Structure 1
């Protein structure tokens, strides 16, 4: 979440919230098209159909918009993941991870331009992402326990970290603008198969990590 001191006004009325979201939507579109550093607040104001004064009423500077757009994207990812968790009953491990990686990729594909802009900027790494990773890792750990049953807590922590890091890398790649639908499906399927094979091996032998 962005520091409270950097966001000057939190609107409470519906119209004010709508205006604020319109500014953020305009910023997201322009960041995706032009990049963050090449998008001025004046251009954002024009695209949103508001005055520059209105922009500064809600956002003290452009970096606040970046922080809030990242936070919104991460919340969308978390919401999609949480909703998917309820639909994984009786699926094979392969289908579980194919579904999860596919859902997360869909969120990033829908925001592909913005994702590219965020990756290109240091804000992506210095803002909300470090706080988000433990939340996602905890959700994956819950999934690991559901799949494998009770087990060594430390091993499950490590397994969850590996799945998060591997999955996030492939999801980012699969959502890139230069990846078509066929390649996207292949990337997701191959990664899900790798994770499922690892889990099946652990379930059969109890071996997840070198001891």
Structure 2
């Protein structure tokens, strides 16, 4: 059989496998968000997804692997959006740049609010994904700050990137619960950006005065 024909025969099977994997993740995200991670077994996920537990285990070895896949997906979305920022920092003030960093994370986490709440409640968000993605996200923010500030002898860009990223993520994580706590999400984002932006401006001014 010609190689091209063999490839065409295999493609539907690959597509079905991708669809099955996606269905498991979609059902898991829904169940985690409504029941909590600890109260959701792989048997329950398989039942809700309309498949046998054996089929589920062909794609994921256990619940923790599903949790990691879902958490990594959130970080990948943030990473992809942060990467788009590069090149545009020179056209924005530090305050507006910080606000954009925060709003990107807020938008993604709030859109996945029930899942994020479940992951945070079971401490899964902190243990899965962050060790791998934090340095990568911090590097993007570092490049963003370098574009914004230009060559600098005063600023500790590594520390600044760490603060911007972690302050932004802390605000983003808390934003998932702000509506229920009666807080104005936009106001919190703006005030956080005001404070960090003022700090970056002061560093930039110190650089100019040297």
TM-score range, shorter chain: 0.7 to 0.9
The aligned counterpart of 1:44 is: 45
Deviations along 1:81-110, one digit per CA (max 9) or x if unpaired, are 222445545122222222221121010011
Q: Distance in 2 between matches of 1:154 and 1:206?
A: 8
1:103-153 per-position Cα deviation (integer Å, ceiling 9, x unaligned): 210100111111111112243333221121111111111111111111249
| Corresponding residue number in structure 2 for 1:119 | 120
Partner of 1:103: 104
Is the contact made by 1:23 and 1:55 (CA closer than 8 Å) also made in structure 2? yes
Matched positions, count: 196
Q: In 2, Cα distance between the equivalents of 1:46 and 1:53? A: 11
Matches within 5 A, 1:130-149: 130-149=131-150
RMSD: 2.2
1:53-132 to structure 2, matched below 5 A, reads: 53-132=54-133
Distance 1:84 1:118 in 2: 27
Whole-angstrom CA distance in 2 between matches of 1:73 and 1:107 = 7
**2:151 aligned counterpart, secondary structure:** coil
Shift of 1:192: 0.8
Contact 2:117 2:176 (C-alpha < 8 Å) held by counterparts: no
Select between 87-96 and 189-198 the one with higher mean Cα deviation. Answer: 87-96
Q: Distance in 2 between matches of 1:118 and 1:188?
A: 22
Contact 2:31 2:40 (C-alpha < 8 Å) held by counterparts: yes
Describe the SS at the equivalent of 2:156: helix
Q: CA deviation at 1:49?
A: 2.0
Gaps (5+ residues) in structure 2?
A: 1-12
CA deviation digits over 1:165-202, x for unaligned, max 9? 21111111112264589711011101111111011111
Higher helix share: 2
For the pair shown, the structure with the greater C-alpha radius of gyration is: 2
- Residue equivalent to 1:159: 160
SS in 2 for 1:13: helix
CA distance in 2, matches of 1:180, 1:88: 33
**TM-score in terms of structure 2 length:** 0.85
Runs of 4+ in 1 over 6 A off after TM superposition: none
